Structure 1
Amino acid sequence: MSLQTELDAFKSAWTSRVGDDIASLVENDNATLQDLAARAVGEGATFPALTLPNHKGGVTDLAAVMAESALIVTFYRGGWCPYCNLELRAYQALLPEISARGARLVAVSPETPDHTLTTAEKNALAFDVLSDTDGRLADALGIRYELSASIKALYQKFGHDLPVHNGDGRWSLPVPATYVVGKGGRILRAHVSPDYRTRLEPAAALAALAAPATFAA
């Protein structure tokens, strides 16, 4: 079963549970993010070489990683997002194949390190989960946005206190995005989704590692 099939099944069940009014609110809000996704950093650009805290209590130096290997970077909204958890588990299932191709995989979210640890543990993730708590990486890629008043109210109703959960006092998130980065830092594949219920298939990210430029420094 593809990841998108799983996401669509969850979306259908969620819509039935919450009703058409809330589902329409989310649809309309997602539509406002189209321009942001279109302006985001894309293929051919250099991926930002930042160092971020990881869920293990250390740091991951992306510059050092990209100097040695190709890299898949996937941004998720938070461990509170069921769509994100489905995606993370799908990437975990492909981790042996990603590693066999000599590449690294990391996930990034605005969650604090304590929360990324929880996310990693509940999904049994064996790759680094990084905290972009101040949004530097998301901002450098142009994928962070401030939540609308209507979505903020909805998330408060659902108990998602993002300013506390993310530790930055802001109601902001990255749109889900996946980057396949060649050795040396050039972005080979970029998928930025204004609709958080739609993600790049992990198999497509894996396939992008076969590009001739993947391991050319």
Structure 2
Amino acid sequence: MFAVLKTGGKQYRVQSGDVLRVEKLDAQAGDEVQFNDILMVGDTVGAPLVKGAGVKATVIDQIKGEKTINFVKRRRKHGSQRKKGHRQQLTLVRIGDIMESGADKSGLRAAVSGRGMAFAAGGLAAVAAGAAAAYAATRGDDDSAKAPAAKDKPSATEKEAPTPKTAKEASVTGGADDLKKLSGVGPALEKKLHAAGITTFEQIAGWTDEDVEKFGEELNFKGRIEREGWVEQAKELSK
């Protein structure tokens, strides 16, 4: 009795004992598999498949087909040429029993395509991890060598004492006035005044015309101090 089965996009007419080369299957040498896509068994023709029919087979080996050469030349593409070889991955199987019915209860694993199985169901991550490990092994990388040494936490006695503030910083944080109360003075301008040593209203109230001109040039505010009336405001705020 013969059967016509379909696998890998092709159809094969088989009998018990035939040795067949089919598209790569997801199986190892010695495994028993079952083809369930049966188009015809004896005189029974499927529509399109024969219900309950199956063909048992034993995997002999995973092989490659003959090498084919693909040569492409594009005359109008500046002499572009490309030559590429290819060997198709195949599975060699021996056909066993041909069942007209009851194949769905045989318990054998179905013969499924093995093309791209390494990348299915999360296999891509495993393949990538394996490739990374192989690359690291060729370079002799050692993760333990790369790991930075843990720094010992300093004890309470080893901690550095805080750096004492300078006299200028002490004056700014200690008895400094809120210079932002002056018209036109914001946080940025207040920092510039502190950097110039001006921290109190009393200092600004004591400015002379020479001081006003001097600080106007240093702070790049020429003429603004007079327009805003900082000296008069500082005299009122320092009371």
Give TM-score, length-normalised by structure 2: 0.20
Query: Which structure's CA Rg is the greater one?
Result: 2
Between Structure 1 and Structure 2, the one with more strand by share is: 2
Give TM-score, length-normalised by structure 1: 0.21
Between Structure 1 and Structure 2, the one with more helix by share is: 1
Q: Which is bigger in relative contact order (C-alpha 8 A, separation at least 6)? A: 1
